[in-house]
Amino acid sequence: MDDTAQQRLKKVHDTLTRAERQLAGAILENYPMSGLGSITRLAEKAEVSTPTVVRMVQKLGYSGFPEFQAALREELEAQISNPIDKRDSWSNTAPQEHLLNRFTDAVIGNIRQTLAHIDPADFDAVAALLADEAQSVFIAGGRITHALSEYLHLHLQVIRGRVQHIPTTSNAWPHALLDIEPGDVVVIYDIRRYENSTLKLAEMAAARGARTVLVTDQWQSPISRFATYSFSCRIEAPSAWDSTVAMMLLSETLIAAVQEAAWERTRDRMGALEEMFDETRIFRKFV
């Protein structure tokens, strides 16, 4: 017997007494919200006594009111949660419990959570900031996030000039600070364990009047206090390491937005880049 409370109510409806039927009616009236308050309020609303409520939920098979309420919450959660991640398995050739499926499940969850937390206005503002060639852009990453910062840098370079990459793990980064001017934009990736040098960099950049865009994890790098804009991405995964997929997604989406905002310029620069590639014969000549 693990039906929903609603089903249980209907099933036992005939065996209920007068006051209990009255109560059942009140619950079903706006199901399941009315059941989420206190037992007292439910009793008041149904115009029965609280013991009646207890007796009835026990008839339904719950040990008591709290258990009944927990069941309601679970149902509601299932009803609300996004059907997109309800997919039973991603790789249908692999069993459900294969790492491929488990890991992907986690990552999709991360993506969903991350997107839910991003303020579109912030996102648009940052995209506009990065598209504007009036100020320079500096990009910094830590040990793990270096790959991401490099990736962002690589693409932004095509879209605009005045983009510089600062690898915080090297000791060359103080030099880069020299070039930072008030109004410039510093994009920093920082996830646990948060690096001291990165924090220092953010601090100094802020002191120089730069605007900081922070991409961090759900526990928030200490840098967030200096940051003009801050995006927190979920990074949990069934692994000894964190997953940066959500951050990668955010980065790519940002790149796409910036590119869209500065399409004229991007097209020209891409064209020039192509020509150079042709001359250097880095790429194959077909497709």
- CB contact burial 98-124 (16+ within 10 A = b; e otherwise): eeebbbbbbbbbbbbbbeeebeeeebe
Which of its own copies, DNA, none binds 65 (CB below 5-8 Å, type-dependent)? DNA
Show Cβ contacts of residue 52 under 8 Å, excluding neighbours closer than 6 positions.
19, 20, 23, 43, 46
Decide which of its own copies, DNA, none touches 19; Cβ closer than 5 to 8 Å per partner kind.
DNA
Characterize 15-45 residue by residue with b for buried, 16 or more Cβ atoms within 10 angstroms of its Cβ, and e for exposed: ebeebbbebbebbbeebbebbeeebeebbee
Amino acid at 278: D
For residue 134, the tally of other CB atoms under 10 A from its CB is 8
CA distance 61 to 180: 67
Residue 7: which of its own copies, DNA, none does it interact with, CB under 5 to 8 A by kind? none
C-beta of 207 vs 270, nearer to its own copies: 270
Q: How big is the site for its own copies, counted in residues (CB under 8 A)?
A: 92
The contact pattern for its own copies, residues 105-124, with x = CB under 8 A and - = no contact, is --xx--xxx-xxxxxx--x-
User: Rounded to the nearest 5 degrees, what angle is found at the Cα of 223, between the Cα atoms of 218 and 229?
Assistant: 75
- Of 225, 231, 237, 172, give the one whose Cα is nearest residue 199: 225
For the CB of residue 97, give the shortest distance to its own copies in the complex, in Å: 11
* Min dist. Cβ of residue 66 to DNA (A): 6
Closest CB 245 distance from its own copies, rounded Å? 5
Q: Give the C-alpha separation, 207 to 201, whole Å.
A: 10
The Cα 4–Cα 224 span in angstroms is: 44
| Closer Cβ to DNA, 52 or 244, answer by number | 52
Given 49, 133, 257, 265, the residue binding its own copies (CB under 8 A): 257
Alpha-carbon distance of 105 to 111, in angstroms, equals 10
Min CB(173)–its own copies separation in Å:
13
Task: Give me 220's structure tokens.
Answer: 């928030």
Nearest approach, Cβ of residue 194 and DNA (Å): 12
Q: How far is the CB of 215 from DNA (least distance, A)?
A: 21
For CA atoms 8, 10, 12, 16, the dihedral sign is positive
Contact between 106 and 85 under an 8 Å Cβ cutoff? The reply is no
- Under the binding rule (CB under 8 A), the answer on residue 77 touching its own copies is yes
Q: Which of DNA, its own copies, none lies near 39, with the C-beta cut-off 5 to 8 A by kind? A: DNA
Residues that bind DNA (CB under 7 A): 17-20, 38-41, 47-52, 54-55, 57, 63-66, 69, 286
Which of 207, 270, 272, 276 binds its own copies (CB under 8 A)? It is: 270
- Considering only residues 163 to 192 of the shown chain, the ones binding its own copies according to CB under 8 A are 169, 192
3, 36, 179, 268: which one contacts its own copies (CB under 8 A)?
A: 36
- Partner from DNA, its own copies, none binding residue 28, C-beta < 5-8 Å depending on class: its own copies
Q: Which of 73, 161, 179, 276 binds its own copies (CB under 8 A)?
A: 73
Nearest distance from C-beta of residue 263 to DNA, angstroms: 31
